[in-house]
């Protein structure tokens, strides 16, 4: 699905990623963990195409295509989705219009006909139910006046609506109470199937109780310094990061 | 070879046109007033860049052009099909159509309204309503400049609207001002006097639409709101790209009254809007909101003045600008809180987005406070479109031009949302998009 080779990237002239290697195949869930400032969000943003981040070397291949040379919107149209750590408010633009525009742009790019308004509405109702969003929230402006939890649920709602091939969820679990965490995790589990893939970027092992990863990677100082199966999360929970990071600085 | 350029002395030019207007005016009271105004005009000068209140707006091209008074020119023809195309639709309203400052009854639709309120030209109003017209006409205007004298000495029909006491108009009044010229640059003096009675309420949609070639639309509106009255004005300015729009609105508010003014500027080569409100008694509320979009070499100047004269009044002001290409925006907001005006709340904000490196804005908030127990805030921001918001929208597969339109909508939202007519909000949102994607 995606293959990252020796990726280096900087922001404001400062090198954050120091050579990332990562391969994610269809049907897999990967978790990327690591302390604050290790480069987790940078990795997510570079892949999604934030202009502030500059990839200085390495390659990212997404479905056999060179991702780094693609415009941000084309990456999304190719099937990439980023769940934002801090979703942006867009007053005056309703969730429905926003998503309808997004879905139809993606469909157009992939030579598919636009969704009819009815099909779109039906889909919206079905997906909203999964994340427990009521219709008033859908007709409201994108994220405007939403609580932190509502914003994160809305990210998962968008994920379910857009049905990308690869979802990168950047700290979608941060700041959520246990009920919201369950809803969000349930949404991700609904999304997941053998043809798509998920990368979870998180601080907390707690999320992995609900979404079970196939692989866990520890990111530190812009490099993946350890990879393992789901049991690695438990080890991290118990011992922290020090036992791995020692000698890495 | 040399080209001879005719130099225009604007004062002399407009004094002459006033003379013709006055000579044709049969109404004694008005012609008296106009004669006085004409003498004043001949004794003053138009503002220049050295005039503090006009220092960002160069009037040279306006005052250097020879605009002929529309009354001296052949009538500019507008059909009902033209009106259909430009009037605001999809909400119930009474319609008054003015073409070059003159009321066209055959294009209007306000029969029903005449049983409820008084509508007439200003000269006609003298016959029925002398006291009230005498009391207010040219008496509400403050901080007069040559433009005030220009308008008063040159206007022909004008519009007088009086809402009697205890009348609440459910439907808005749409005043469609179509200004146009053929062949010769045209000068159109437009004049309004609105009087809202005690406990009365009305909404006016003032729409200015340009047709034909180059013209100069000079507007003067005086507004009096009596005790506990409410007036909402939604002004939408869509003059054509060669034209000048100089509008002054003066408002006098009585106790417990409420005035909400929304000022949307899209068109025109040079636009200057002056709004002065006097909060002359206690417990008055006043909202002055505006949104301006400029591109090309457009120049849009908004100047507001709120005078808090008495205690317990609140004023809210929010002006937002979106400037592209080589356009220029000006916002100047003065708030005066007099010594008497304790417990005043005055809030002012001006936010501008510059979409191009060549666009500029000058913003000048001005607070003069002589009372000691007041809450006054003001702020001004100038910036570009929010990058992280742009990234968010792009990352959903939405192309850049649509993402940009969404962010502009989001920026304009806080002004547009205050408009209480849904159909008008929708029209405004499409106007915003159209005017941003204009070449």
- What is the Rg, in whole angstroms, of the alpha carbon atoms belonging to chain A? 18
Residue B183: what pLDDT?
Answer: 83
How close A219 gets to chain B, by Cα (Å)?
24
Mutation choice for B interface testing from A75, A101, A152 by most B CBs within 10 A: A101
Tokens of B120: 């007439």
Encode pLDDT of A65-90 as tens digits.
999 999 999 999 999 999 999 999 99
CB pairs under 8 A between A and B: 79
Cβ contact, residue pair A91, B393, below 8 Å: no
For chain A, say whether B384 makes contact (Cβ under 8 Å).
no
User: Which residue in chain A has the smallest CA separation from B388?
Assistant: A88
CB contact under 8 A, A92 and B407: no
Q: Label residue B185 by pLDDT band (50, 70, 90).
A: very high
In this complex, do A92 and B429 lie within 8 Å of one another by their Cβ atoms? yes
ipTM summary value: 0.95
Q: Which residue of A has its CA nearest to B400?
A: A73
Tally the C-alpha atoms within 13 A of residue B69's C-alpha that lie toward its C-beta: 21
Of B96 and B387, which is predicted with more confidence? B96
- Residues of chain A found within 8 Å of residue B406, distances taken between Cβ atoms: 90, 93, 98
In tens, the pLDDT along B205-259 reads: 999 999 888 999 999 999 999 999 999 999 999 999 999 999 999 999 999 999 9
Q: Which of A132-141, B224-233, B321-330 has the lowest mean pLDDT?
A: A132-141
Beta strands in B171-324 (DSSP E): 173-181, 186-196, 201-212, 215-225, 230-238, 244-253, 258-265, 270-279, 285-294, 299-308, 314-323
**For testing contact with chain B, the best of A92, A95, A98 (most B CBs within 10 A):** A92
| pLDDT greater than 90 at residue A243 | no
Q: Total domain count for chain A?
A: 1
Chain A residues interacting with chain B (CB cutoff of 8 angstroms) = 48-52, 71-73, 75-77, 81-82, 84, 86-93, 98-99, 101-102, 105-106, 109, 141, 158, 162
Nearest by Cα to A178 from A159, A204, A200 = A204
Decide the pairing of beta strands B68-69 and B375-383. Answer: unpaired
pTM: 0.87
Give the mean pLDDT of chain A.
Answer: 91
Q: How far does A154 lie from chain B, in Å, by closest CA?
A: 13
- Over range B90-104, report the average pLDDT: 95
Range of the domain at A90: 2-245
Tell me which residue in A81, A92, A109 faces B410 most closely, judged by beta carbons: A92
Q: Which residues contact B368 (CB under 8 A, 6 or more apart)?
A: B334, B335, B336, B337
- Report the CATH number at residue A172: 3.40.50.300
Question: How far off is chain B from A237, nearest CA to CA, in Å?
Answer: 32
């Amino acid at each position: 699905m995606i293959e990252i080779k020796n990726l280096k990237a900087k922001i404001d002239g400062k090198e954050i990623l120091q050579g990332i290697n990562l391969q994610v195949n269809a049907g897999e869930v990967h978790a990327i963990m690591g302390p604050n400032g290790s480069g987790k969000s940078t990795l997510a943003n570079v892949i999604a195409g934030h202009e502030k981040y500059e990839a200085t070397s390495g390659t990212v291949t997404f479905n056999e295509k060179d991702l780094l040379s693609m415009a941000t919107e084309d990456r999304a149209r190719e099937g990439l989705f980023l769940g934002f750590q801090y979703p942006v408010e867009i007053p005056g633009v309703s969730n429905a219009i926003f998503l309808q525009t997004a879905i139809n742009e993606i469909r157009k790019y992939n030579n598919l006909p636009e969704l009819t308004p009815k099909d779109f509405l039906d889909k919206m109702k079905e997906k909203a139910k999964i994340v427990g969003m009521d219709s008033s929230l859908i007709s409201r402006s994108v994220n405007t006046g939403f609580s932190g939890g509502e914003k994160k649920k809305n990210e998962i709602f968008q994920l379910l609506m857009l049905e990308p091939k690869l979802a990168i969820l950047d700290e979608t679990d941060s700041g959520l109470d246990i009920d919201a965490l369950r809803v969000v995790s349930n949404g991700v589990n609904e999304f997941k199937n053998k043809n798509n893939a998920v990368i979870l970027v998180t601080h907390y092992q707690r999320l992995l109780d609900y979404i079970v990863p196939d692989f866990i990677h520890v990111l530190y100082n812009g490099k993946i310094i350890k990879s393992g199966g789901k049991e690695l999360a438990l080890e991290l929970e118990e011992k922290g990061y020090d036992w791995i990071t020692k000698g890495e600085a | 070879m040399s080209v001879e350029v005719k130099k225009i002395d604007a004062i002399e030019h407009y004094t002459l046109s006033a003379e013709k207007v006055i000579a044709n005016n049969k109404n004694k009271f008005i012609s008296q007033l106009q004669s006085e105004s004409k003498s004043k005009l001949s004794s003053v000068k138009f503002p220049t860049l050295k005039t503090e209140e006009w220092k960002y707006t160069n009037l040279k091209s306006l005052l250097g052009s020879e605009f002929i008074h529309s009354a001296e020119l052949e009538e500019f023809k507008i059909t009902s099909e033209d009106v259909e195309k430009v009037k605001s639709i999809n909400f119930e309203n009474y319609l008054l159509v003015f073409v070059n400052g003159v009321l066209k009854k055959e294009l209007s639709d306000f029969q029903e309204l005449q049983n409820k309120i008084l509508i007439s030209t200003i000269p006609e109003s003298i016959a029925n309503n002398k006291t009230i017209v005498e009391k207010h006409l040219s008496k509400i205007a403050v901080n007069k400049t040559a433009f005030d004298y220009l308008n008063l000495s040159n206007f022909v029909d004008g519009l007088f609207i009086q809402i009697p006491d205890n009348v609440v108009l459910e439907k808005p009044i749409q005043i469609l001002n179509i200004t146009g010229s053929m062949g010769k640059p045209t000068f159109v003096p437009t004049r309004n006097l609105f009087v809202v009675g005690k406990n009365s309420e009305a909404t006016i949609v003032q729409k200015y639409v340009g047709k034909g070639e180059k013209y100069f639309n000079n507007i003067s509106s005086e507004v009096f709101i009596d005790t506990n009255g409410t007036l909402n004005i939604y002004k939408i300015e869509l003059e054509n790209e060669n034209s000048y729009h100089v509008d002054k609105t003066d408002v006098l508010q009585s106790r417990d009254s409420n005035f909400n003014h929304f000022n949307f500027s899209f068109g025109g080569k040079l636009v200057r809007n002056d709004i002065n409100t006097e909060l002359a008694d206690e417990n008055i509320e006043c909202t002055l909101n505006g949104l301006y979009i400029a591109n090309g070499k457009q120049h849009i100047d908004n100047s507001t003045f709120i005078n808090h004269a008495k205690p317990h009044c609140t004023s809210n002001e929010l002006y937002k600008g979106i400037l592209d290409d080589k356009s220029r925006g000006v916002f100047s907001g003065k708030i005066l809180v007099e010594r008497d005006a304790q417990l005043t709340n005055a809030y002012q904000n001006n936010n501008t987005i510059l979409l191009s490196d060549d666009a500029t804005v000058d913003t000048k908030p001005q607070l003069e406070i002589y009372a000691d127990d007041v809450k006054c805030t003001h702020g001004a921001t100038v910036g570009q479109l929010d990058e992280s918001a742009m990234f968010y929208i792009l990352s959903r597969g939405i192309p850049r031009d649509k993402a940009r339109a969404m962010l502009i909508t989001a920026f304009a939202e806080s002004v547009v949302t205050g408009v209480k007519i849904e159909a008008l909000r929708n029209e405004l949102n499409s106007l915003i998009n159209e005017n941003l994607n204009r070449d």
